[in-house]
């Protein structure tokens, strides 16, 4: 392997070593983790875990958190603004629960970018880096999985049901454990690979693991020196620990929450996913991505929002914030909510009641917990919600702030697998007002 | 076709010519090596002494910007990416990243009003005051005011701070010594001499930058001093101007080895070449592997498929000397070989389902791409011909009308296997991928696919490890700027009505129905057998991008304005301009003589000329090949043609090397150049003669891929064991032992199926590719859920099948991960496979017939049990109501059902016992080993499994456990 010296004196080989747990000859895994820990993570940051909510499809900012009640009729829409428990902050009337917990999160308005296609917008916002054809940036969660250490018997990064950006140049090692399904209220929730399947009992799998240990000796001679062999051993043990871990099994079993706690959430699958997310964080998972899709409302925007999307969003997110607070986790868990873009201020006339189209120039985002100062609105859109009124925020700024809340230095450099140095967030600055 | 253009690239001289030498002369030679060996001493004697000597004291010499000041800034680290080389600059000063843009850097330094360079007060120039001041300079103190660096820069400023003096260019960079035999703690020194096109030579050691590709073996400091470290070998890289030179360093592992002896009976050419290097390194190779390990390795590598137990036994029983060679030939004829290596070419060329969604309907394009390649791999069409069919592809055949094209494509769409498309002379989808629609991305993709060169760095700045500059990149990208896609709703001129007719027949109005909706409707109509329009590849003249035209127009406008003001003698404002005064008003005389009508006519002509000029100006008239010569594009109707001719010319330094190196990397887990798709000057091959031999042989054998496979697989080197000895345990780059490799995603998935299937099913699986992961056409399997498509795609993602998205071989991952281990241990797919009704285990425990009986019995039992449960419920109800008569009736019936249950249970356990008794435990255990790890268990392993077997009363469960454990061994998932 060519070892290209970088200008900071770090060779590509070093970086790859630091990047891949278990890939170094000579240093043990734990020493490595310690090194990684010592280097990158600011232990004083409030956020120890994160929940990232992807609103896939691009939610309309005008009909949710950035209403223009005084705006012209062709943009305004039928929804009214209501007061929240924070004086001066108003949101959509169909988000009554969130209005009652507005002190727990900050609303960012006038966030702006220029990529109006779903995949590109998602890759931009969900990675914090504008996409380029020659390099795939990792999702926020994969970066966190790379940076934050988690316990051996629990997955560090879980996606419910999956994430939309992918681990990019960090590789499959930092991909999430995807549940591939969403939990339903009051029903047992089995996650592929986690719950013992195939009629396997704990006793049976332990017996088999015992046999495996005795048969799997072929490469013992080169165990220490070969990255692949030592990596396979490490993950084999960790997988066994996780499969047999009561903690992990229980973490996914949302029925174990008290009835009172379950009532904080709605019965829909998004709310239940949020409930699961809080439970996972409580159990030691460091990063959870939750997805709510369906926001691509080109037609019948208002019915879709009012009847379906907003009630779910309201129940799920309010449950998430209140639930985290109840568990005493809100201060140490950063919640970041965003879609890939906003929607056109002008209501189109293609369907009977009209819809809104892709609109990256103006969108909203939300952040709360993890040292974020709640109960405030940062930024502002212009009179028609068509762009930021002043300078506005870039998705990169919000991503940088998000990592900052977790103690991850967004300017830290990764070596990609072709030896190219890239910052975690290439082009963003932390928004200081977000923090308490 | 103009051959002169591309032939002239051979022996180009200047810097472009340098390109060939590091590759063709092998790793031991040096680009500067001339026919008469020059010693360091004689070279240094001839050359001008170095700047650190010349500027050691005050001097009158005025240094040159390109030769001295620019390189010095690079050497000092000023243009690094965290310093002034950053795209945002630093402290207001921005230099070109990694240097080389001398003009721009000169401008940045000498810009008016910045005082970076102050001609009035040279010592007050910021480029002297800043780097000498540890307080004021963000980058700290770089040199003192009593240093040669200081005096050099000062003299340049006081000499007028001039830009490049003339057209003198670097013609050769000589480095001494040209190779180094090192040992721990040994100290060496590199000397660098620049030879310029005017014949002058200069010692530029203090102005060069140095890097070691493995500092553990040899470290090099900024002055070029080398200290030997661990045993092994590496390369030192020297950078000066845009030249990059590598110097091999070898530190022998064992000096006391007896005279090396070829360890192999009939060594092949590869064996000789690898042994040459190993001898110099003092490394002894591992022994070759036994028949079983060979069979497993070669089956997985050539055919992506595990050998079956029957195959293993037959191979063992074969006593012929040439049985390995015959096995290789046999494997190369299998469908699995064709499928697996088509997938390899699919990775290389980027056959991505996601990128092709807009090209045709559903997965048709990905499938067509796969089938087209597959047919050629199967027929062993020469590699250069395959590439030609991709590079020079067209959507329509010659003279094909829009209607004929649409008819043909609509019929192809009906052809589920895309066999018809496979017969097409060319495969246009390569150029039609969604995110590869600019000439820049196409150039990056082309360089990656066919040259193994990562040119993307040079899109934004000088390539840090190679000679490519941004200008080289832009010139190269021109060849692809004529490529575009015509969407099915648009017509080229002259075909509007024809297209309209097609749409009218379909009863679709493409002005009303758009985007995804239109695509869905068209795909539906195509499914119904109607003729629908398709997207197609358009290859026009190479065209400038809108941004480039805009920038050009802008600068032209500026120039024109300037010219006008200069040319106009009446302009009082310009009266002070000396040039304007000197220049006689050109048109002044003519103007007077012309009549009004003549003037108007003249203006009209001028305007027409200007417009024609503008039209011409939209296109490129020439372009430069990578490291090659200029090409007049107007000589070609398709600018891809000269690029293809250059590509497949036997002197092309990359084309053959890129493919043989990639194929090699598949067999060894590591390339001769590694990463395998990163051929660059700073990343030389670990064994240059070996790479040359394979590349030359490949060309001589007319790009015959099977020749290459045979050459590699028949070598002893390929057949070495992974078990190391003290001399080779640290070697990973010289092929002295096999490196364990995790099986590729597709191969893992298929290996699980193969290991667990019944013999009958396994045989079909080996010969028919329909449901094989190694034969997924694009990046996503279109198999439906029932046939396991979902699970297959799930596993592909988990194990890192290439997503073919970013022009990098690293899109495929061989990493291990936690979720992979979770999958192997606990995914329902694994359990389903082991206990599959067509599986080996079910077959073994009574065959499908008796398992049919068992299933019926199980159903009967379940029915009886639920009946009993209902009766018990009714009984409780009756009890509550004190209904005696009903209670008695129920009691009787319950007794009946209970006895029925007992009978069924008895017969079930009897059947089970009978079947289990038939199980000969040693035999089935051995079979399980052969199926998974393709070898017989050792006595100890057999005993361990036997004990496990005996301790479980449920023998089927016991065998399931053994299979589970074997599938979860490293030995299973690793090719070794």
B residues 722..741 contacting A (CB < 8 A): 722-724, 729-730, 732-733, 739-741
Chain B residue closest to A423 (CA)?
A: B82
Phi and psi (nearest 5°) for A422? -135, 140
What is the Cα–Cα distance from B243 to B14, expressed in whole angstroms? 11
Residues 817..836 of B with a Cβ closer than 8 Å to A: which?
Answer: 817-828, 830-832, 835
Q: 3-class secondary structure for B846-876? A: CHHHHHHHHHHHHHHHHHHHHHHHHHHHHHH
Tokens of B245: 């030179």
Whether B794 sits inside 8 A of A180 (CB atoms) is yes
Report how far residue B63's alpha carbon sits from residue B60's, in angstroms, rounded to the nearest whole number. Answer: 9
- Region of residue A314 (left: phi > 0; alpha: psi -120 to 50; beta: else): alpha
- CA distances (Å), origin A408, targets A19, A147, B492, B895: 15, 7, 53, 70
Judged by CB atoms closer than 8 Å, whether chains meet at A2 and B678 is answered as yes
The shortest CB-CB distance from B82 to any of A8, A20, A204 is to A8
CB within 8 Å: A136 and B723: no
> Of B383, B284, B276, B286, which Cα lies nearest the Cα of B688?
B276
Residue A226 has pLDDT above 60, yes or no: yes
In angstroms, the CA B16 to CA A180 distance is 53
**A127 vs A117: CA distance, rounded Å:** 15
Cβ–Cβ of A198/B828 closer than 8 Å?
yes
Q: Is residue B194 part of a domain?
A: no
- Residue B211: which of A5, A211, A235 has the nearest Cβ? A5
Contact call for A231 and B816, based on CB within 8 A: yes
Closest-CA distance of chain B to residue A417, Å: 7
A chain contacts of residue B945, beta-carbon cutoff 8 Å: 211, 215
| Domain-located, residue B246 | no
Could you tell me the CA-to-CA distances from A152 to A33, A235, A241, A285, B301 in Å, in that order? 12, 9, 7, 11, 34
The closest of B254, B233, B245 to B182, measured between CA atoms, is: B233
Tokens 């700045």 -> residue: B461
CA distance to partner chain A, nearest, from residue B807 (Å): 6
Q: Are B823 and A228 within 8 A, CB to CB?
A: no
State whether B826 and A226 contact (CB < 8 Å).
no
Kindly report the average pLDDT of chain B as a whole number.
87
Q: Which of B747, B816, B741 is nearest to B776 (CA)?
A: B747
Residue with tokens 């390369």: B235
Residue A132 pLDDT level (bands cut at 50, 70, 90): confident
Distance CA B298, CA B334 (A): 13
Percent of chain B past pLDDT 90, that is, above it, reads 57
Contact A134 B808 (CB under 8 A): yes
pLDDT for B36 equals: 65
3 state SS of A110: strand
Q: Do B810 and A204 touch (CB under 8 A)?
A: no
Domain boundary among B140, B158, B176: B158
Does B466 have pLDDT greater than 50?
Answer: yes
B426 touches chain A (CB under 8 A): no
Determine whether the interchain pair B961/A207 forms a contact, defined as Cβ–Cβ distance below 8 Å: yes
Q: Which of B740, B806, B968 sits opposite A226 (nearest CB)?
A: B740
Q: Mind telling me how many Å the CA of A320 is from chain B's nearest CA?
A: 27
Q: How long a stretch of residues is chain A?
A: 436
Residue pairs between chains A and B whose CB atoms are closer than 8 Å: 204
Is residue B53 in some structural domain? no
Q: Is the pLDDT of residue B922 over 60?
A: yes
- DSSP conformation class of B976: -
In a domain, B82, yes or no: yes
| Per-residue burial over B335-348, b = 16 or more CB atoms within 10 Å of its CB, e = otherwise | bbbbbbbbbbbbbb
Cβ distance B970 to A232 less than 8 Å, yes or no, reads: yes
Average pLDDT over residues A241-252: 90
Helix (H, G, I), strand (E, B) or coil at A90: strand
Cβ separation B823–A204 shorter than 8 A: no
Which residues in chain A have their CB less than 8 angstroms from residue B818's CB?
155, 173, 177, 235, 238-239, 242
Contact list in A for residue B816 (CB cut-off 8 A) is 173, 228, 231-232, 235
Answer yes or no: is B860 within a domain. Answer: yes
What is the number of alpha carbons within 13 Å of residue B275 lying toward its C-beta?
Answer: 18
**Look-up of token digits 């066999």:** B419
Does residue B100 lie within any of the structural domains?
yes
Nearest Cα of chain B lies from the Cα of A208 at a distance, in angstroms, of: 6
Find chain B residues with C-beta within 8 A of A200's C-beta: 826, 831
**Cross-chain Cβ contact B970/A229 below 8 Å:** yes
- Please state whether B110 falls in left (phi above 0), alpha (psi between -120 and 50) or beta: alpha
How many Å lie between the alpha carbon of A216 and the closest alpha carbon of chain B?
Answer: 5
What's residue A314's pLDDT?
97
> Element (H or E) spanning B741, and its range?
strand B741-742
If one counts every other C-beta atom within 10 angstroms of the C-beta of residue A223, the result is 13
d(CA B449, CA B452): 6
pLDDT at B17: 30
With an 8 Å Cβ cutoff, are A175 and B797 in contact? Answer: yes
Of all residues in chain B, the one with the smallest CA distance to A171 is B813
Map tokens 């069919």 to a residue: B389
The answer to whether B742 contacts A232, with C-beta atoms less than 8 Å apart, is yes
Q: Are strands B483-486 and B209-212 parallel, antiparallel or unpaired?
A: unpaired
Strands A81-83 and B218-220, bridge-based pairing: unpaired
Tens digits of residue pLDDT in A172-184: 889 899 888 899 9
What distance in Å separates the CA atoms of residue B542 and residue B526, rounded to the nearest whole number? 34
Q: Is B800 on the interface with A (CB under 8 A)?
A: yes
Beta-carbon separation of A173 and B970 below 8 A: no
Q: Which of A127, A154, A208, A244 to mutate to test the interface with B (most CBs of B within 10 A)?
A: A208
What confidence tens digit (pLDDT) does each residue in B316-345 have? 999 999 999 999 999 999 999 999 999 999
- Residue B435 contacts A where some CB pair is shorter than 8 Å: yes
Is residue A39 exposed (0-12), middle (13-18) or buried (19+ Cβ within 10 Å)? Answer: exposed
Residues of A in contact with B805 (CB under 8 A): 136
Residue position matching structure tokens 């600059």: B89
| pLDDT, tens digit (0-9, with 9 covering 90-100), for B706-737 | 999 999 999 999 999 999 998 998 899 999 99
Best interface-test mutation with A: which of B822, B956, B963 has the largest number of A CBs within 10 A?
A: B822
User: Given an 8 Å threshold on Cβ–Cβ distance, is B969 in contact with A216?
Assistant: yes
Using the predicted structure, report yes or no on whether residue B2 has a pLDDT greater than 50: no
Residue whose token pair is 């000063």: B93
pLDDT band at A102 (very low <50, low <70, confident <90, very high): very high
- Number of domains comprising chain B: 2
Q: How far is A192 from chain B (nearest CA, A)?
A: 6
Kindly provide the b/e burial profile for residues A321-335, where b requires at least 16 CB atoms within 10 angstroms of the residue's own CB: bbbbbeeebbbbbbb
Maximum mean pLDDT: which of B237-241, B354-358, B381-385, B595-599: B381-385
* Across B492-501, B641-650, B723-732, B839-848, least confident range: B839-848
pLDDT value at residue B789: 77
Give the confidence band of B114 by pLDDT, cuts at 50, 70, 90: confident
Whether A7 sits inside 8 A of B82 (CB atoms) is: yes
Q: Which domain holds residue B89?
A: 65-158
What pLDDT is stored for residue B627 in this prediction? 83
Residue B567 maps to a domain: no
pLDDT digits (tens, 9 = 90+) for B266-306: 999 999 999 999 999 999 999 999 999 999 999 999 999 99
Query: Chain A contacts of B441, Cβ < 8 Å?
Result: 133-134
**Is-contact B152 B72, C-beta < 8 A?**
yes
Question: Which among B353, B925, B970 is the top mutation candidate for probing chain A, defined by the most A β-carbons within 10 Å of its own β-carbon?
Answer: B970
d(CA B570, CA B586): 13
Choose one of B865, B892, B907: the last residue of a domain.
B907
Range with the poorest average pLDDT among A10-19, B124-133, B837-846, B958-967: A10-19
Query: What confidence tier does A90 reach under pLDDT thresholds 50, 70, 90?
Result: very high
DSSP-assigned states of every residue in B295-320 = HHHHHHHHHSSPPPHHHHHHHHH---
- Is B818 in Cβ contact with A215 (below 8 Å)? no
Give the residue among B788, B798, B933, B769 at the shortest CA–CA distance from B340: B769
Strands (E), A89-244: 90-92, 105-111, 157-160, 177-178
CA distance B671 to B664: 6
Inter-chain contact B818–A134, Cβ cutoff 8 Å?
A: no
Say yes or no: B943 contacts chain A, CB-CB below 8 A.
no
- For B469, residues 6+ apart whose C-beta sits below 8 A from its C-beta are B100, B101, B242, B458, B462, B463
Estimate to the nearest angstrom the gap between the alpha carbon of B143 and the chain centroid: 42
Q: Which whole number is the average pLDDT over A22-35?
A: 33
Evaluate whether residue B868 is within a structural domain.
yes
Cβ-Cβ contacts under 8 Å, B665 against chain A: none
Please compute, for residue B376, the number of CA atoms within 13 A of its CA located in the half-sphere on the CB side: 30
pLDDT band of residue B785 (cuts 50, 70, 90) is: low
Chain B residues with CB inside 8 Å of A12's CB? none
Angle at A299 between CA A294 and CA A304, to 5 degrees: 50
């Amino acid at each position: 392997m060519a070892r290209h010296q970088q200008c900071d004196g770090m060779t590509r080989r070093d970086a790859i070593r630091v990047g891949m747990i278990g890939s170094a000859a000579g240093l043990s895994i734990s020493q490595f983790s310690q090194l990684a820990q010592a280097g990158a993570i600011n232990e004083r940051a409030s956020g120890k875990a994160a929940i990232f909510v992807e609103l896939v499809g691009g939610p309309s900012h005008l009909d949710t958190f950035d209403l223009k009640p005084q705006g012209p009729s062709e943009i305004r829409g039928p929804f009214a603004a209501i007061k929240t428990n924070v004086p001066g902050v108003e949101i959509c009337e169909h988000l009554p629960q969130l209005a009652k917990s507005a002190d727990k999160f900050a609303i960012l308005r006038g966030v702006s970018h220029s990529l109006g296609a779903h995949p590109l917008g998602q890759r931009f916002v969900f990675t914090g880096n504008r996409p380029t054809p020659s390099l795939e940036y990792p999702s926020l969660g994969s970066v966190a999985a790379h940076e934050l250490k988690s316990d051996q018997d629990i997955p560090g990064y879980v996606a419910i049901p999956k994430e939309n950006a992918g681990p990019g140049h960090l590789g499959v090692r930092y991909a999430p454990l995807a549940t591939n399904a969403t939990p339903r209220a009051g029903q047992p929730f089995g996650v592929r690979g986690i719950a013992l399947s195939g009629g396997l009992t704990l006793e049976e799998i332990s017996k088999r693991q015992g046999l495996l240990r005795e048969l799997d000796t072929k490469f013992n001679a080169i165990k220490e020196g070969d990255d692949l062999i030592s990596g396979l051993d490490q993950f084999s043990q960790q997988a066994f620990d996780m499969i047999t871990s009561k903690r992990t099994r229980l973490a996914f079993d949302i029925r174990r929450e008290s009835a009172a706690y379950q009532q904080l959430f709605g019965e829909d699958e998004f709310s239940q996913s949020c409930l699961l997310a809080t439970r996972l964080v409580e159990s030691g998972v460091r990063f959870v991505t939750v997805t709510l899709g369906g926001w691509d409302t080109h037609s019948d925007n208002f019915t879709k929002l009012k009847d379906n999307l907003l009630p779910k969003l309201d129940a799920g997110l309010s449950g998430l914030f209140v639930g985290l607070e109840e568990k005493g986790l809100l201060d140490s868990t950063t919640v970041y909510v965003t879609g890939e873009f906003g929607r056109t201020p002008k209501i189109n006339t293609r369907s009977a009641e009209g819809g809104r189209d892709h609109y990256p120039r103006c969108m909203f985002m939300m952040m709360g917990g993890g040292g974020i100062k709640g109960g405030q609105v940062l930024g502002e859109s212009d009179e028609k919600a068509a762009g930021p009124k002043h300078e506005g925020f870039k998705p990169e700024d919000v991503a940088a702030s998000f990592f900052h809340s977790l103690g991850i230095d967004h300017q830290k450099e990764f070596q990609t697998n072709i030896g190219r140095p890239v910052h975690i967030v290439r082009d963003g600055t932390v928004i200081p007002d977000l923090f308490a | 076709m103009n051959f002169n253009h591309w032939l002239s690239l051979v022996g180009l001289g200047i810097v472009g010519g340098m390109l060939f030498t590091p590759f063709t002369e092998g790793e031991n030679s040096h680009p500067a090596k001339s026919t008469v060996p020059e010693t360091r001493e004689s070279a240094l004697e001839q050359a001008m002494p170095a700047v650190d000597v010349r500027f050691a004291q005050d001097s009158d010499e005025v240094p040159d910007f390109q030769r001295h000041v620019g390189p010095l800034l690079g050497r000092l680290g000023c243009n690094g990416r965290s310093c002034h080389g950053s795209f945002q600059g630093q402290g207001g000063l921005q230099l070109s990243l990694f240097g080389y843009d001398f003009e721009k850097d000169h401008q940045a330094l000498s810009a008016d009003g910045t005082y970076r360079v102050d001609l009035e007060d040279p010592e007050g120039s910021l480029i002297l005051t800043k780097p000498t001041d540890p307080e004021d300079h963000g980058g700290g103190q770089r040199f003192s005011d009593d240093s040669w660096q200081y005096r050099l820069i000062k003299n340049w400023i006081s000499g007028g701070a001039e830009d490049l003096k003339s057209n003198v260019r670097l013609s050769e960079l000589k480095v001494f010594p040209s190779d180094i035999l090192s040992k721990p703690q040994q100290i060496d020194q590199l000397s660098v001499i620049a030879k310029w096109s005017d014949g002058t030579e200069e010692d530029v050691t203090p102005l060069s930058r140095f890097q070691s590709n493995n500092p553990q073996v040899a470290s090099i400091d900024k002055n070029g001093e080398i200290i030997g470290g661990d045993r092994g070998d590496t390369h030192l890289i020297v950078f000066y101007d845009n030249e990059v030179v590598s110097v091999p360093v070898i530190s022998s592992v064992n000096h006391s080895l007896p005279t090396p002896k070829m360890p192999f009976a009939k060594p092949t050419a590869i064996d000789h070449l690898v042994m040459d290097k190993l001898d110099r390194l003092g490394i002894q190779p591992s022994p070759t592997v036994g028949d079983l390990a060979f069979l497993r390795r070669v089956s997985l590598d050539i055919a992506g498929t595990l050998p079956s137990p029957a195959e293993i036994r037959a191979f063992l029983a074969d006593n012929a000397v040439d049985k390995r060679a015959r096995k290789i030939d046999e494997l190369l004829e299998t469908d699995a070989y064709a499928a697996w290596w088509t997938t390899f070419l699919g990775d290389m060329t980027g056959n991505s389902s996601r990128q092709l969604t807009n090209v045709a309907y559903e997965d048709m394009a990905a499938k067509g791409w796969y089938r087209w390649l597959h047919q050629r791999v199967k027929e062993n069409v020469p590699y250069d011909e395959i590439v030609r069919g991709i590079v020079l592809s067209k959507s329509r055949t010659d003279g094909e009308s829009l209607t004929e094209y649409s008819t043909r494509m609509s019929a192809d769409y009906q052809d589920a296997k895309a066999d018809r498309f496979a017969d097409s002379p060319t495969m246009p989808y390569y150029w039609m991928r969604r995110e590869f629609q600019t000439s820049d991305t196409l150039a990056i993709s082309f360089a990656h696919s066919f040259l193994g060169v990562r040119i993307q760095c040079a899109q934004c700045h000088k390539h840090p490890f190679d000679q490519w500059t941004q200008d080289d990149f832009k010139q190269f990208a021109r060849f692809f700027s004529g490529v575009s896609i015509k969407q099915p709703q648009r017509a080229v001129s002259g075909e509007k009505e024809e297209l309209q007719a097609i749409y009218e027949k379909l009863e679709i109005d493409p002005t009303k129905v758009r985007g995804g909706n239109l695509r869905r409707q068209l795909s539906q109509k195509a499914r119904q057998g109607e003729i629908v329009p398709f997207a197609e590849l358009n290859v026009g003249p190479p065209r400038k991008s809108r941004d480039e035209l805009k920038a050009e127009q802008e600068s032209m406008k500026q120039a024109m304005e300037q010219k006008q003001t200069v040319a106009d003698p009446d302009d009082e404002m310009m009266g002070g301009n000396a040039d304007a005064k000197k220049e006689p008003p050109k048109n002044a005389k003519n103007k007077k003589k012309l009549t009004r009508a003549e003037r108007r006519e003249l203006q009209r002509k001028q305007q027409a000329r200007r417009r024609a000029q503008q039209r011409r100006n939209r296109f490129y008239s020439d372009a430069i090949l990578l490291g090659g010569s200029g090409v007049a594009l107007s000589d070609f109707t398709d600018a891809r043609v000269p690029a293809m001719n250059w590509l497949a010319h036997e002197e092309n330094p990359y084309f053959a090397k890129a493919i043989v190196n990639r194929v090699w990397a598949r067999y060894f887990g590591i390339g001769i150049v590694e990463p395998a798709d990163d051929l660059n000057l700073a990343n030389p091959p670990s064994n240059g003669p070996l790479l040359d031999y394979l590349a030359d042989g490949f060309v001589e054998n007319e790009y015959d891929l099977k020749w290459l496979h045979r050459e590699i697989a028949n070598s002893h080197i390929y057949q070495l064991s992974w078990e190391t000895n003290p001399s080779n345990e640290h070697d990973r780059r010289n092929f002295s032992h096999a490196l364990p490799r995790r099986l590729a995603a597709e191969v893992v998935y298929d290996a699980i199926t193969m290991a667990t299937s019944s013999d009958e099913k396994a045989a079909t699986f080996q010969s028919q590719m329909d449901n094989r992961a190694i034969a997924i056409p694009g990046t996503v399997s279109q198999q439906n859920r029932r046939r396991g498509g979902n699970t297959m795609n799930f596993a592909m993602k988990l194990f890192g099948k290439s997503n073919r998205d970013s022009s990098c071989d690293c899109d495929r991952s061989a990493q291990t991960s936690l979720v992979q281990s979770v999958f192997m241990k606990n995914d329902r797919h694994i359990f389903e496979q082991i206990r599959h009704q067509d599986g080996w285990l079910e077959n073994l425990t009574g065959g499908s017939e008796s398992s049919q009986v068992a299933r019926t019995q199980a159903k009967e039992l379940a029915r009886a049990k639920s009946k009993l449960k209902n009766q018990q419920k009714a009984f409780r109800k009756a009890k509550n109501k004190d209904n005696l008569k009903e209670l008695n009736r129920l009691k009787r019936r319950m007794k009946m059902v209970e006895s029925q249950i007992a009978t069924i249970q008895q017969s079930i356990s009897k059947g089970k016992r009978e079947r289990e008794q038939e199980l000969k435990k040693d035999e089935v255990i051995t079979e399980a080993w052969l199926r998974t790890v393709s070898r017989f268990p050792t006595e100890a392993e057999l005993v361990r499994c036997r004990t496990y077997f005996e301790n479980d009363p449920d023998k089927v469960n016991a065998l399931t456990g053994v299979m589970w454990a074997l599938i979860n061994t490293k030995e299973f998932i690793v090719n070794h």
